[in-house]
């Protein structure tokens, strides 16, 4: 009986020892750089899109490019709006598709 109690006392903490550390691990995956043929406005949009997607992922928000103020009101002169938005969209998608799965 005494051997059984000792055996049970040794097995009780075993699951806790095997569980390991439960701290959250943050993994950063670098999005590819903007294509070299992008204009300066498109490259700025690309980098802003990557940053916006990373914020959405970090805050567990669903991906929605239309909610970002810089996409709606680009910080470039009006003739470059579409180039900026194209770059923003490409950067946003690149960051979403190159990120680790949620809870990683």
Residue 92 in any domain: the answer is yes
- Other Cβ atoms closer than 10 A to 79: 8
Q: Is 39 within the bounds of a domain?
A: yes
pTM: 0.67
Residue 76 pLDDT > 60: yes
Residue 3, pLDDT score: 72
Q: Cα separations (Å) of 79 from 18, 19, 43, 66, 86? A: 60, 57, 15, 20, 13
Q: How many domains does the chain have?
A: 1
In a domain, 27, yes or no: no
Give the pLDDT confidence of 10-46 residue by residue, as tens digits: 666 666 666 665 566 666 566 678 888 999 999 999 9
Domain extent for 92: 32-104
Residue 90 φ then ψ, to 5°: -65, -45
In a domain, 13, yes or no: no
Give domain status of residue 14, yes or no: no
């Amino acid at each position: 009986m005494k051997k059984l109690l000792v055996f049970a006392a040794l097995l009780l903490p075993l699951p806790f020892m095997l569980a390991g550390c439960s701290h959250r691990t943050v993994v950063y995956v670098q999005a590819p750089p903007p294509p070299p043929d992008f204009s300066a406005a498109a490259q700025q949009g690309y980098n802003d899109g990557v940053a916006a997607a990373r914020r959405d992922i970090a805050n567990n928000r669903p991906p929605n490019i239309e909610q970002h103020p810089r996409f709606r009101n680009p910080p470039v002169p009006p003739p470059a709006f579409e180039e900026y938005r194209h770059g923003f969209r490409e950067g946003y998608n690149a960051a979403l598709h190159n990120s680790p799965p949620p809870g990683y």
